[in-house]
Amino acid sequence: MGISANASIQTDYFGVGQFPPPGARWRSSSGSHAEQVDTACGDMRVLNLGVFEIEVTAATAAEDWSILYDNSISIPFVTAATVNSTASAIYTALLKVFGTGKVLESAVLATDGVAVDGDTVTIQFADGTARTLELVPPGGAASTFTADYTVAGTPSAPVDHKPGLWVCVDPTGFDPTVIRIKEPSATSDRPYGIAVLEGAVSPDRPILGPDVDQSPIWPAGEPMSVARRMQIVGLADGAILAADVGAPVFCVVTGARKGYCAKAAGGVSQVTRGDVVFNGTDDVGLVVDGLAPVFVPSNTSDDQTATDLRNKWNGLPQYLAIATASIDLSGAESYIILTFKDNAEHTVASYTPATADVVSITNTTEASAATAIATKSTFLTPAADGERVAVNLFEG
């Protein structure tokens, strides 16, 4: 159902198996006030349109050049005696294929899709598809050019979105008709909800029911149905076991499984160890990330000094929040071990005011970044890796 002309509340209902067409703007509840599906919200927009610049750096008149577009269309032009005149010749040639009513008109923006300014021609493409433009010289050419996408205009392709995957809030822009959302892409993203199946489309079927084998999608740039609070089906990243039912859901933000439901943040915490060497008099300790040192006086042995240092570290709340200290006294060495509580890299050095020291400091486990972010949702059922998994969904 659409939005009424006078903005009054709609009271129409869809029957079983009936879904709104893609692009329809509506909000619904699936039978309970506690459920919320927002279908005025999806907008997986192009992140960056392509902006390509051709700068004429040297010009020699009457050279027969061409621009090869996407390895398929050759656009010829003839150089002039000056760089500005040559840029104008390129501009005129491009308009023969990108201009109004021409074969590639829709490939560029309607306003200033092709423009010239002095010695530089700019092409602003209408979507984020990466296209190739190659300047092809004649034999013995003396004219020179630079041609590439601008740093700010490197294209990023539009994104179709599959039902069952998380989407996140897109804070980069505002649209009065839809909530801006995007694919998960960073651990700083805020999960918004999970794209639902009803109303999604596929090339072979216009409107789908709950049949994931048809590979439905929400097309790039179109509003989509996004569940924000309800029981819904997502896709599992890794096996979800019976013991995981009720555990928090994490939204994957990197790799080929962006938007899948995981049961942990992933990533690896750094583990660092060093051998404690006492001398009976000097202080022994560690300096982490340039913070104030944590140290103890040398005790009667390496083992006892390592034990004292562990207890000192774990007894300081500000340091315990960074890492947990443990010891390994099983061998000839007296190891102090720091297991960090995040996925960042940390620097660990010895505190050496005199002879006693922590030596041979090394990372036994290197840190790696988290691959998923926590949500307020929980798992409802077990699932095998890659399969559908029921989720008790809450926005965020």
Residues 6+ away with beta carbon under 8 Å from 299: 278, 305, 307, 308
Number of CB atoms found within 10 A of residue 117's CB: 11
Domain 271-365 fold is: Alpha-Beta Plaits (3.30.70)
The confidence score (pLDDT) of residue 202 equals 64
Question: In sequence order, what are the beta bridge partners of 274?
Answer: 336
State residue 225's pLDDT score: 84
Of the pLDDT bands very low, low, confident and very high (cuts 50, 70, 90), residue 97 is very high
Of 371, 357, 370, give the one whose Cα is nearest residue 275: 357
Q: What is the share, in percent, of the chain residues with pLDDT greater than 70? A: 83
Is it the case that residue 41 has pLDDT exceeding 70? no
The residue with tokens 């949500």 is 375
* Alpha-carbon span 276 to 161, nearest angstrom: 54
Question: Residue 215: pLDDT band by 50, 70, 90 thresholds?
Answer: low
Distance of CA 201 to the CA centre of its chain: 24
Q: With a cut of 70, say whether residue 206 has pLDDT above it.
A: no
Work out the average pLDDT over 292-321: 96
Residue 173's pLDDT is: 67
Alpha helices in the chain (DSSP H): 83-98, 302-314, 317-320
Residue 63, beta-bridge partner list: none
Question: Can you tell me the distance from the alpha carbon of 385 to that of 217, in angstroms, rounded to the nearest whole number?
Answer: 21
Average pLDDT over the chain, rounded to an integer: 85
Residue 78 pLDDT > 50: yes
What local confidence, expressed as pLDDT, does residue 7 receive?
A: 40
pLDDT at 317: 96
Q: Which amino acid is at 73?
A: I
CA angle 195, 197, 200 (to 5 degrees): 95
If one compares 7 and 300, the residue with the highest pLDDT of the two is 300
Q: Which two tokens stand for residue 314?
A: 């774990």
Where residue 182 falls among pLDDT bands split at 50, 70, 90?
Answer: confident
Q: How confident is the model at residue 366 (pLDDT cuts 50, 70, 90)?
A: very high
Q: Which pair of tokens denotes residue 87?
A: 């840029």
> What is the per-residue pLDDT for 50?
87
Range ranked top by mean pLDDT from 2-6, 286-290, 341-345: 286-290
Whether the predicted pLDDT of 213 surpasses 70? no
Contact 378, 307 (CB under 8 A): no
pTM: 0.59
Locate 2 and state its tokens.
């659409």
